[in-house]
Structure 1
């Protein structure tokens, strides 16, 4: 009996996988992940660990560094919130309504993916500069967008909107209109239908799009440097400060700033993923 059970287990272990070449594919995937992601991050952490705690804290608490990190993470968070709201609305319009030019608008959503970020930054600066088409209209009102943190938010909204739309849109397409009709039949008004029927099912996808837009915004460089103005303590972002430190051959400061960005990004994405897992567990049955 023992021989039969052991042979049966060995036979089950040697059964071919459902996915052909799973072992080879897994090995290639892990090797590629180590080469592209883990080794650079490990090198960054190793270089930061060589600074010593006192020097590392001194570099990271530099007022210019703190201000640049605050601007980068603050503007990325604001832009991600804006994209979450308007991205869900845009996805809803594209899914639920038919109107002339719908395919054109649907294709324009992916434009930030194809457009070079430097070109986007130059175009946005041209529009929102004090003598630009939009900036000239805002200037008499005392509103200045270009060369301010507001311009950074505008650029990050532009590059981050497709992440929310393309993440939420497939989930919306799976929600039948009969669900809304059933809620209305049971006496729910529009606000109750949206808040208690539709949004719970869209929350996990919305948080995923929010996380992607936020992560893209934190590390964005090309579309921001033109419209930001890059004024220290005013509109200087952390990625630009890293480039400046590298050009000054101050590798210790550049490494410290990059390490702090890596740590803060990991913490914020971890929190978002935890909230997303909680929302899936709570609203999974509802969806």
Structure 2
């Protein structure tokens, strides 16, 4: 009887946990469904009927967005910015993380503390000094103003360092015994083995900078280098007002690349996060 009662309590607890998780999932996904539902509903039908169901499917909102917004230019600018930032972070952050994790040199611990301290400072706090510096170099309202402040990432250095610490030390010692230089170890061993971690911080970097509105609104004055969030917000403010259908269509088109990217790389993302929390050797 005791065993049966224990199994019953366990099943009740499991059912309660699943119900709570399902309720949380519905609560988190409901805004996305409302966004999609509004974007595919004709403007005069948005507030009619049940707001949880899609009764009048229409692409009018998307047609208006593509007709009135230079969306392809915003997409191109966005991909150029986030792609260049990612490449710059790979070139800078991977060697820095490798040095802080596996090389022995004076000042290594100080360098690690500087990285940790940099992670605690929000980039909003340094926005004005960086703006002044970019202005002195004539980079305001250019792609360079969106890229240069972010090609060095303290978080990426720390994430990659944790991953490199999970690689057995014997791998690096064997390479040194074979006569490999630090540069050769970095190129032929570290980069291939770090692929999951690089993909992980690449996805995080892509999401962060693709969605960023604060910095573009700080350094851009027109649509020449506008990314998707900045360009669409300008469009919403100037053209749409409270026209919710095109607003939600524009919002859907903003998050679409993020969703596609996550679905493609979700296995590598999970693997990279798991490996970055592995054993420290």
- Is it true that 1:72 corresponds to 2:64 in the alignment? no
Deviation at 1:98, TM superposition (A): 4.2
Q: Tell me which residue corresponds to 1:41.
A: 32
Deviation at 1:42, TM superposition (A): 1.0
Deviation at 1:94, TM superposition (A): 2.1
Equivalent-residue separation in structure 2 for 1:27 and 1:102 (angstroms): 47
Deviation at 1:259, TM superposition (A): 0.7
Q: Tell me which residue corresponds to 1:235.
A: 225
Q: Tell me which residue corresponds to 1:157.
A: 151
- Provide the aligned C-alpha RMSD in A: 3.3
One of 246, 260, 263 as aligned partner of 1:267: 260
C-alpha contact 1:76 1:156 (8 A) present in aligned 2: no
C-alpha contact 2:115 2:158 (8 A) present in aligned 1: no
Q: Deviations over 1:19-67 (max 9, x none)?
A: xx665555444433432x3111111111111142244134135452322
Q: Deviations over 1:140-169 (max 9, x none)?
A: xxxx422111111124436xx244223212
Equivalent-residue separation in structure 2 for 1:167 and 1:24 (angstroms): 35
Residue 88 to residue 28, structure 1, CA distance change in 2 (3 Å) = farther
Residue 188 to residue 162, structure 1, CA distance change in 2 (3 Å) = closer
Deviation at 1:262, TM superposition (A): 1.4
What pairs with 1:129-168 in structure 2 (closer than 5 Å)? Answer: 129-130=135-136, 135=137, 144-157=138-151, 161-168=153-160
Equivalent-residue separation in structure 2 for 1:88 and 1:73 (angstroms): 21
Question: Unmatched 5+ residue regions in structure 2?
Answer: 43-57, 274-281
Deviation at 1:78, TM superposition (A): 1.6
TM-score (norm 2): 0.74
SS at match of 2:249: helix
Q: May I ask how many residue pairs the two structures share in their alignment?
A: 250
The farther-off stretch of 61-70 and 86-95 is 61-70
C-alpha contact 1:245 1:254 (8 A) present in aligned 2: no
Equivalent-residue separation in structure 1 for 2:93 and 2:16 (angstroms): 39
Q: Tell me which residue corresponds to 1:226.
A: 218
Deviation at 1:124, TM superposition (A): 1.7
What pairs with 1:189-228 in structure 2 (closer than 5 Å)? Answer: 190=182, 192-227=184-219
Equivalent-residue separation in structure 2 for 1:277 and 1:29 (angstroms): 20
Q: Deviations over 1:192-242 (max 9, x none)?
A: 533443323211011101100110001011123212x2312x022222233
Deviation at 1:277, TM superposition (A): 7.9
C-alpha contact 2:92 2:151 (8 A) present in aligned 1: no
Equivalent-residue separation in structure 1 for 2:139 and 2:168 (angstroms): 41
C-alpha contact 1:122 1:226 (8 A) present in aligned 2: no
Q: Tell me which residue corresponds to 2:88.
A: 82
C-alpha contact 1:128 1:146 (8 A) present in aligned 2: yes
Deviation at 1:260, TM superposition (A): 0.9
